Structures are given as structure tokens and as C-alpha cells.
Amino acid sequence: MSQTAMSETYDFLFKFLVIGNAGTGKSCLLHQFIENKFKDDSNHTIGVEFGSKIINVGGKYVKLQIWDTAGQERFRSVTRSYYRGAAGALLVYDITSRETYNALTNWLTDARMLASQSIVIILCGNKKDLDPDREVTFLEASRFAQENELMFLETSALTGENVEEAFVQCARKILNKIESGELDPERMGSGIQYGDAALRQLRSPRRAQAPSAQDCGC
């Protein structure tokens, strides 16, 4: 398969969100993941609000469509529509700011209320490179993650450490849930779509017989 064909073919598309207090590094994490470089402050253009990238997870190609709050969180106005139909989320705090860690409970409540019930969330303790200024220990954050059924990593959007891993681990968990039947990609608002590659494999008799919109009479 040619490079171009490869880059346009994927098995699944997952909608992802990046949430957490302003200043924790959400836009930088997205930028680092998409562009493989740190977004420095000299770049005053409005933050990327959206990015997408295809990753390989255990042999499956997954296109991640990632939404950034684009500054809405500064006004505590992250809307219901932002959360709608998301399959996964990075919940970000800053390891040098206890205030951003204390806010996690509120973010979780909103995510669980406003996003899909089965949203898979990975907790990211960002700015790992600023260890001397740390206000939140790895241990307490991992306990919090465990109690709240979240995956957990410390990341650095500056050095790139664990950035790709955070997205990949979250995607892997979603794929596992699809494979185990715990998650149904066809349910409305799942935040998951089949890509061309998966559709080709799915030409099963059951699908062929599914009534078309014209036949159903509704």
C-alpha cells in the first residue's frame, strides 16, 4: 500500500477531548502530540482548537480527532456540546499546582455527567519536567486515579515524555472495550466511527440485510 493510501485508511475514528484547568498545558500537549514539538509562548496565535492524527494501536489504525477547549475553561464555561459524543479524554492537571489537582473532582463530575457514560479517561499530571517545583506527588495522584477508575501518567509537553503514550493508552483501552463487547461503536454518541479499513472487513451478511433508510418507513 502506498504512503498516501495508508495515511487515509484507518479502522476506527475516536473523538477525544482534552480537559482540565487553564494553564495546565492542554494546548501544548495537543500540539506536541500532533506536531512533535513544544508550542512556545512566542506563538501568540489562537490555540489549535482541533487536531487529528492516525496512530497504530496493536496493528489497528485509529484516527484520533481531538478537541481542545480553546480557552473556554478560563471562563468556566466548557459547554455541554463540547463533551457530546466523546470516546476518550485526557484530564490534565499541573504537577506544580495543587489548585489544578484539587479541581479534578469537578472536571470528573462534569465529564461523567455531560460526556458519553462509557467515556475512557486518562489522568495526565503534566509539566513532569518541573519536578523541583512539584506540589503533587506521583503516589497521591495514582491513588486518586485508582479510586476514580482512571488511567494515569505523568507527562511533559515540553520534552514530549509520555505524550504519545497518553493518547495511545487511552485509545488502546477503548479498542479493548470494543473487542470485549463492552462498548458498542454503533450506539449513538459513542464517539466512535468505523473507518474504511474496518468497513471493508465488516461486509457481513447481517449488515447486508440491514434495512436501508428508504425501506424502514419512519
The rounded distance, in Å, linking the Cα atoms of 56 and 7 is: 11
Q: How many CA atoms lie within 13 A of 112 on its CB side?
A: 9
172 touches ligand GDP by CB under 6 A: no
162 touches ligand GDP by CB under 6 A: no
22 touches ligand GDP by CB under 6 A: yes
**Part of the chain binding ligand GDP (CB under 6 A), chosen from 25-33, 82-90, 145-153, 184-192:** 25-33
Q: By three-state DSSP, how is residue 162 classified?
A: coil
Q: How far is the CB of 161 from ligand GDP (least distance, A)?
A: 8
169 touches Mg ion by CB under 5 A: no
- Convert residues 107-126 into a mask of x (bound to ligand GDP by CB under 6 A) and - (unbound): -------------------x
Contacts of residue 210, defined as CB under 8 A and 6 or more positions apart, other chains included, come to none
27 touches Mg ion by CB under 5 A: yes
Q: Output the residue with the shortest Cβ distance to ligand GDP.
A: 25
Angle at 88 between CA 18 and CA 200, to 5 degrees: 130
- For the chain, the distance separating the N- and C-terminal CA atoms, rounded to the nearest angstrom, is 42
